[in-house]
Chain A
Amino acid sequence: GESVGLHLPTLSVQEGDNSIINCAYSNSASDYFIWYKQESGKGPQFIIDIRSNMDKRQGQRVTVLLNKTVKHLSLQIAATQPGDSAVYFCAENKNDYKLSFGAGTTVTVRA
């Protein structure tokens, strides 16, 4: 079946550097994408979303890029901080209001 997947299961980044987390999706009918952050023992926390009619969206220290041609989604975190250490999930919504998640990327910030 179609699903959302992440390129790398783990990412180690130096504190202060920028992080880039990638995600590939296969369903061209998806029209809404979301990034969530999940810390140990907690539920997923909404970070940022983007609709399929957009290529880029910026938030506070985060930017999501959407490349529909190659079905690729990325999350960029500027000036990564220790509090950014978590598992990051991309999810897609195919206009049926149920989210499909990838397996996640574990980000570890080195001091």
Chain B
Amino acid sequence: DAGVTQSPTHLIKTRGQQVTLRCSPKSGHDTVSWYQQALGQGPQFIFQYYEEEERQRGNFPDRFSGHQFPNYSSELNVNALLLGDSALYLCASSLAPGTGVETQYFGPGTRLLVL
């Protein structure tokens, strides 16, 4: 049973650039959530995708956008990178809202460094 996978594992960008991070959910899951984890902090919710639409969004600017594909995989895009965007970006997958099973399983994350 494949777990949540993310790519790339590490990434270095410069200020102003754009980045795309990718996530494949756990087998059988159709909902993907993205979180940002700064060093020494707990993960912060960015947004959640279900049925290829953004369903929930946290307190993040429009520079953060996403997409979900028909195979349930997802991308996180960040435009106009700032130094403060340096963090571990985590993807979590789960069953659809309303199933009564909300458990979210996390991938290993993508470590983004903005210089």
Residues of A within 8 A of B (CB): 32, 34, 36, 42-46, 49, 89, 91, 93, 96-104
Bound form: Cα–Cα A99–B106 in Å: 12
* Further pairs besides A42-B109, A44-B43: 18, Cβ < 8 Å: A32-B102, A43-B4, A43-B108, A45-B106, A89-B43, A91-B42, A96-B56, A97-B31, A97-B56, A97-B94, A97-B97, A97-B102, A99-B43, A99-B104, A100-B45, A103-B40, A103-B42, A104-B41
Bound form: Cα–Cα A98–B3 in Å: 20
Contact for A36 among B40, B55, B106, CB less than 8 A: B106
CB distance from A22 to the nearest CB of B (A): 15
Give 8 CB contacts A-B under 8 Å: A34-B103, A43-B108, A46-B106, A91-B42, A97-B55, A98-B48, A101-B43, A102-B42
- Binding site secondary structure of chain A: strand
Q: Which of B45-76 contact A (CB under 8 A)?
A: 45, 48, 55-56, 58
Residues of B within 8 A of A49 (CB): 103
B86 within 8 A of A: no
B90 within 8 A of A: yes
CB distance from B39 to the nearest CB of A (A): 11
A98 touches B106 (CB 8 A): no
Known: A93-B102, A96-B56. A42 touches B43 (CB 8 A): no
Residues of B within 8 A of A46 (CB): 103-106
CB distance from A73 to the nearest CB of B (A): 14
Residues of A within 8 A of B102 (CB): 32, 93, 97
Residues of B within 8 A of A89 (CB): 42-43
